Structures are given as C-alpha cells and as structure tokens.
Structure 1
C-alpha cells in the first residue's frame, strides 16, 4: 500500500487483513493508476484547469423554492469554500470520517467533493434513516464531523445525543449565522487538495441491506475513478452533451455513480431532484431535456403508463439497476418510449455495476455479460464453476472489491479471492448471465428450486397486476409454498371476486412458465414494502 495522507489512521487500521481481500484486477490500460490521486481533481478540477469551467454542471433546488444552476467552475468554488470550512472552522484532518446527510441537491454534491478535497472520508446516509440507524453508522465508522441539510437535522441531533464521538455538526441550506452557507461565504474559493494516495479510503458506503447490523464498505480514491472507466465507457457510452437525471439517492452508490461521478467523468451535466417519484421524474425529464435516466425497474413500470402524457423526446439512454429487471417491464418501457433499457447488476461492496450490456446486446430476461475490467463466474458451494444452464452463486473480480469496515462478515463475502455477491445466476449457452434470485430468495418447494423473481416476471405480464412480490412460506407438505403478494392496477375488473381473480392469475402463470412454479397462494395488498432505494423487502413479507 502507498504512503497514506491520512493523519487519522482509523480507516487503514480497520481494513480487513490483506489475505481476506478479493483479488483485484487491473487488466485495462485505463485502470493503471498512479500512487497519488485525489478523485475530486479527476472528476471536477481538471475540467476547470482545461478551460471548460463555464460548462453547465449541476442543476437542482436551492432549498427555498428556487433553482440552482452551477457551472463546473461554480461547483468547484463552492466545494473549495466548504473544504476550507471543514479544515479551518471544523478542525477536520485527513482521514476523519464526515457524515453527509441530505437529499439530492447541488449543495449535497458540493459537500461530497469538499470532503474528497480535504482528504477526509465521506459517509453519506439515506435521508429516511432514523436516529437509531444513524447512531449505528456513527459508532461503527467513529464519525467525528457531519454536514447535514437543516431539513433533516432532527434525527441526527437525537442520534448525536447518544454518540459523543460526533463532535461537530454544521447545517447546510440554512439561514443561520453558523450555517454552512454563512461560514463558506467568508472562505476562499481556492483550496489545495490534500495529496491523497490512490489507495487512501475516500468513502465508506453502508449497505442498504434489509436485516442485521449495517456493513460499511470501504472504497479508495482509485475505486471512484475505476468505476468511471469501466461500465460508463463500455456500456453507457455517454458524452459531454448529455444531461443526466434520475431517482436513486446520492447515499446509494447507484445514485452517486449515476448522478454525480459518471456525468462529471465525461464533462456532462446532471439534474439532482430532491424527490423523484415517477410523477415528478417524468415532467423533470421534459423540463430539463434530460438525455440519460437512472432509476429502478418499479419506477420504469410506473412511468411507462404515464409516458404518453409527457415530452420524452430528449431521452436517449435509460439505465435500470437496484433490483432485477423483469422482461415484462423492459418491454413496457420500450413500447412506451422506443428505448431499450440498459440493465445492470452492481453491489455496494464493489461500488457499482459489473455485469451489463449495451442497447444493441440487450436480451430480455438476461442481465448481460461481465463489464470490461471485471470477470464473473457462476460457482457451487465449493467455488467450482457449474455447467452452463446450471444455477449457482455469482462470483466477481475486478478493480474494485469488498473491504468491510471491521466486520467478521468479510470472510462470507470473499472466498478464494472472489466476491460472492449473494446472487443466484446461471450462464446461458451464449455466455449471458441470467439472474435467478438473491441466494436467500430461492424457494425450495416439493423438491424444486424456484426463483421468486421468475414467478414475479410472469405475474407482471398479467394485465391486472401493477406490482408483485413472491416469497417462500413454510409448508408441512411441500417444505415451502410459493406465495405471491399482488398490488392490483386501479379499476381492475372483477377485483371484488378475489377467488376468481386468484385462479385467473394462477392459470396465467401456469401458461407462461413451468406449471410447478405457479403461486399456490396469492394475497392482495395495497402496497409492497420497499427500502428507500426501491428494493423489495421480501423478508418483511416472509415475516408477515
């Protein structure tokens, strides 16, 4: 490892032992990194240095009902002022962890870059986290400083009362005399970035997992740039004239990459929406003439029904990730817009997408092939490759990989030098990786292995189904029973005769996929439980 710039050595001290790391692969020439690197320079400062500081960079709300439109030079100036606040007013030293708490806004992006410039470590948190969850993150990462949107300060203050390690909190989008804006106003627009090592930790991303204690995944400055040189270059293929937009929070690595890192890596601009539900995202695409959209399959499905009412002519690329993309949703969006979705699977542990495809190589039901820079296999419990067409565990290697912060679960995620993502996949005869389920979502019923998402895809093609989730529930006779939770489309005919509707849906699934996979129980719900990032929380349905 290179000589660290971190004075606070907590991150290095709490990395897993080297023999528990996955093998890191830097096969592409673009992945040969220098010893010294600060990702803020690569993503932001270099555009200004090249004379392109007047290019549009970021658009979003100002917190007072207005809109901010910053150029690259203006974002750099704001990030530099905030970096000076961190160092001069708050006492941040390189290696300190700085909690970031805010919706998707230009100021949140400026805070993130300021933390990078100061050589500190960003720990972004989901806006909906409560005090208990924030406290777990603060204690686990030993967070000493925080920058928080004033609108979200309540839960953080509650957590802070229980976490004496959190010494300094500064509120942004605030009118207060000690708010970040007031402090930044009296700081210089110049800041000399800390000369971080390329393998100094830049961020700790906590998984959006569904149960148990949160896991902090540690990523270096070079990792931030590595993900910009793999999937975006080879699969997305965006350019400096593109306008990015989407829904995932910046605290979710899908959102950080898609809405900040990837657009800035090519000199493009990005629109940051504080709330990005389908009824907000569609008119925002039209207003800003957005060309590249990032959101989850559920959102695309909802937007497809409303697409005809909005001017989406500017859109040219749409990316789906966060959960499996059903073939029916892919087709709905293509029918509504003419755009082939780019699907991808990533993981917080690897920072972003590692299996995907281009629009030309898309195949319904398949995720795609390994992104250049990454390798992937499907293996059995012993780590041996399984034959084509056989379901097994997804194993991945690349320039990024799992390094949990002081966590015994490292040994479960990394085996024999490979990242085991917890996904069940098969590889078809053409080498495409086809998603089956999360390994803990496989249903074993009557001796058959049944993937819940496959049954969901079949149900989603039924004209009455708006959303659905399929889980296994205990059954004395079959071991597990396939049960579906279904949200009906408004105005569904025959909704008052549940028994008839259940039988119609069961018959529909039997006619679509192997009959033994049909849901033997169907329960109608008004909504389904989801995480803030849009992932189905199937465990809550199993518990119910």
Structure 2
C-alpha cells in the first residue's frame, strides 16, 4: 500500500502554522504501509493511544527520586496537565510547545499532555544554549514553553520574543504542578492521523538546525515496526537508557515503546555508563538503549572475577545500540562478557527511529542488519540508480514515516525520487544485510551525537579574535569521531586554546565543543578560494605554522 503524498484529512489544528509549512506534496517521500497494523484510522491521537490499555495499578515510570508511577497515576496527571494547558495557559491545537528539562516522569507527562491537547511538542535538550534555543523557537514560531525549574536560566537568557515560559518542579504558586486544576478526565483532541504531533530538531550541515515534522501516526508506526517486530518487548519489561527525550532515539526507547507495549521505563536524569550499570541492578532493567561508546565504556567497568565487576546484569535481555556505527569488536566483547547480543540499528531524526536492524540469531556482527518489517532500503549512486550488491553507495530508505522538513529547502536534498537519503554510505551484501561504510557528508558523529561542523565554526567566529575557522571530525577509537577546530586569529591575538574552548562551550552544548583547537596562519584553500577540508581531516595543514591546543572532556 503506497501513499505518495499527504492524504489531506481534515485537521484538528486551530493554529495551522505547521501544516501550512509542510513541504509541498511533490517533495514528500513515498510512504508504504505494508503491514496491516500500519493502516491507522483517519482520526488518531497518539498520546491517547499510548495511554490506553494497561491496568491502572501497573507501573509505568520508575525514578531514583521517588516511588514508581502507575498507569492510573500517569493518566490522571496527563489529563490534569492537559486541562491546565488548554485552560490556564490558553494553548490551542496546533500551537508549538517547547519542552525542556532533564529526563523525568514529569517531562514525559508534559509531552503526553501536549499531544493529547492537540498541540505540537518541540522537545529540546537541557544542554542547549540560549542561541540554539532562540534559533529553534524562531524556526518553529514557538510561543509556549514548559520548562523544569532547574533548566530555565538559559531559556530565559535566550530572550525569545513572545515566549511564555511556564516552569514545573518549583515552589512558586504559579508553578505548573502547583496550580489548582480539575481532576476530571480530559477528552483527547480529535486530531487527524496526519496532523503534526512533534517537531524534532536535528543539526544541518549548513549549521542551521532542521525541524523534522512527524505526524500522530508516525509516532505509533515506530513502535509497530522496530519495537514490535525486532525488539519484541514484554509487558513486564523495564526500559532504560542514556538518550534524553529530546532525541528521537530516547523518545522511542524510553517513552513510546514501553507505553505501546504496556511496559515500564526507568527515567534517569544522569544516564552515563557509570550510572547505568548500578541502575540496571537496582531497578531490574531488562531493555537497554544506548550508543556504542557507552557499551565500550561499560565494558571497562565489567572487569572482575565474575566477569561483571560486581554488577548484576541478570535482568538484562535486550540491549539496543544506535547513534553511531557499532564496531564488530565492541559487539563481540559485550557478548563475551555478558552473553547478550547487541541489537544494532540505524535510525534518523528525519525518520523518527530505527529502520534497519536485526535481533537474536539474525544478528551478524559488523553489519547493521536488514530492513525492519514495514521498511524498504537500497543502496544507490548519485544519479539515483541502484548499485550492485557489494559496491558502496548512498543509503536510500522508505517506509511508513518519511522526512518532512519545516519550511526548509534541504527537503529536496534529503528526499529524491520518493526515497529518503540518509547521508550514509552503505554496502548491501548479497544476502540482503546492510553494512555501514561512512558518512557521506561533513556531519561529525561523536559518542552518538550528530554535530554539524559549520555550526561550531559559526560559534568560533563569534569570538572577537577569530578571523577564520574550520571544523572537521577526526577518527577516535573511543568516540567514533572527535571535533577538531582550526582557527586563524587576528594579528596580535594570543593563541589560547582553553580560553577559546570555554567561549564555544558557553555558546553551544558541551558535546559540540572542539576537543582540539589548532591555530593556523591561514586555512588551506584551492586557487578559487574553496576550503580544502580533506587536508584538515588527514592531519595536513596549509603549510603555515600551526599550534595545537588539546584539553578537556567532551561531554
């Protein structure tokens, strides 16, 4: 069942900005709904669907900060929040609502309430800085924000015109959680299945973030493909992981998938490798989502006489790896140490979650896997022609979810001839397995984070001493790649790498900060003035004097 363009159902949105700024129909990818479970009704509110089913007393969210929430408590809290949003705050269907804070049950409840009220969730990272927040709010025309009181400072500093910030988790009488409100059930807004439910921002190679618009049916489709057919969760599973809800990897793994399965999730504010291992034992986590970098780091802590370094991993049965390529050596080391088979996968913010993967006996270390049921993939050349098996080319994907950028000319680059081009180079083996080769563009992938070099360059250029800047990724065994910056300073300026790193860290999320800064007299360019990035990646320079500064942890 192929749908090449929007179905054009009657929208429930009063604020039509998002729908009005979808790409024109001819620029949509071809959508396929091959599986019967993907043929959703025309009217669908995904938050209401996710909250329907499990008994009131079953656990849904665990947290180190307090007792577990039950499904009954979550439903009541979401309904109360939705009433406050549509009453006190005046939010109407179609409004974009920014969500910001660490990963907690209340952030998850706010996300569900926003969607149940027919509004559009724009979940951002608690790490992101004022300039980044301001840009995203400008692109999506956000006028409402729900923010954890502990993460409000940078949002306030962004000074976004017309933005109404409502905090939660604080002591003020107007705090969202302290406002008086009705406890009566809230009837979900009767959204169309193709109404926009969320806008997820991803870094672009030009440095300007791209807003990926996803529909109510898209949210369920990720659960009804990868989760249902590859992960195959049980209702007694406890999900946990490192990605925050601002990443679609975390949104699926920590919220959508467990709720769709009637299971529960452990939501951790701090979810690095050091926190994950004890949390697995303490909360009997059975399904884990994190990046290869974290699995490698956890292996270091699993040394000991019992092979687990004293950590009890007996509850684990599923471990999902995504965000960057999973080396075969990491897969084998994890399997040897734990007996668990890592489920590798590739996803994209543009496609919401994982679309190529394999589990159990179908896993082949060193490959990503095969197309998830409901998805199709091929490898093609620059002209859009399929290449023979065994030959590298561009990965092209289509399925029930597709790329729809918010008013962005880069839609034509990502979607060509009905296929989504992910920007990855792959080889399709003769037996249908897909093997990752490299990124096809200048995106830097470090410890599972996508980092656009031009965005970091722009931050460097905001420093008064920087005349020119170039940023590339260098291979790194532990992190996949690290960010390396090359800077040309104004005459007489002091070459102080640490000071410049501190400046960038104040401008951007810490994980985007260069791990190394190299000072040059001039950047390497062609005779026509084009920057020769390949010379920077391979360690070469312009032939001018260079001075490197390397220091600090990349967070």
TM-score by length of 1: 0.80
2:349 aligned with 1:353: no
After TM superposition, list the pairs within 5 Å mapping 1:133-172 onto structure 2.
133-159=132-158, 161=159, 163-166=160-163, 168-172=164-168
SS in 1 for 2:22: coil
Once the two structures are overlaid, the 10-residue window that deviates more, 335-344 or 434-443, is 434-443
2:238 aligned with 1:237: no
Describe the superposition over 1:204-225 as per-residue Cα deviations: whole angstroms up to 9, x where unpaired.
0001457511100000000001
The partner residue of 2:289 within 279, 285, 294 is 294
CA distance in 2, matches of 1:236, 1:213: 34
After TM superposition, list the pairs within 5 Å mapping 1:304-453 onto structure 2.
304-307=299-302, 308-309=308-309, 310-440=311-441
Give the deviation of 1:467 after TM superposition: 4.9
CA distance in 1, matches of 2:437, 2:485: 18
Aligned length: 456
Whether the 8 Å contact between 2:32 and 2:400 is mirrored in structure 1 is yes
CA distance in 1, matches of 2:80, 2:443: 50
Equivalent residue number for residue 493 of structure 2: none
Report the CA distance shift for 1:59/1:146 in structure 2 as closer, same or farther (over 3 A): same
Whether the 8 Å contact between 1:238 and 1:266 is mirrored in structure 2 is yes
CA distance in 2, matches of 1:431, 1:528: 40
CA distance in 1, matches of 2:236, 2:402: 31
Give the deviation of 1:187 after TM superposition: 2.7
2:96 aligned with 1:97: yes
Whether the 8 Å contact between 1:246 and 1:293 is mirrored in structure 2 is yes
RMSD value, Cα: 2.3
Give the deviation of 1:529 after TM superposition: 4.5
Report the CA distance shift for 1:472/1:120 in structure 2 as closer, same or farther (over 3 A): closer
The partner residue of 1:54 within 52, 57, 64 is 57
CA distance in 1, matches of 2:230, 2:393: 25
SS in 2 for 1:230: helix
Gaps of 5+ in 1: 444-454, 461-465, 475-518, 531-544
The partner residue of 2:33 within 26, 39, 44 is 26
Whether the 8 Å contact between 2:102 and 2:244 is mirrored in structure 1 is yes
2:14 aligned with 1:7: yes
Give the deviation of 1:326 after TM superposition: 1.0
SS in 1 for 2:394: strand
Identify the structure with the greater helix proportion. 1
SS in 2 for 1:180: coil
Give the deviation of 1:41 after TM superposition: 1.5
The partner residue of 1:264 within 259, 262, 271 is 259
CA distance in 2, matches of 1:13, 1:468: 39
Whether the 8 Å contact between 1:175 and 1:181 is mirrored in structure 2 is no
2:255 aligned with 1:249: no
CA distance in 2, matches of 1:419, 1:299: 29
Equivalent residue number for residue 84 of structure 2: 85
Equivalent residue number for residue 275 of structure 2: 280
TM-score by length of 2: 0.79
Equivalent residue number for residue 69 of structure 1: 68
The partner residue of 2:481 within 461, 469, 472 is 469
Give the deviation of 1:174 after TM superposition: 1.2
CA distance in 1, matches of 2:337, 2:205: 33
CA distance in 2, matches of 1:342, 1:524: 38
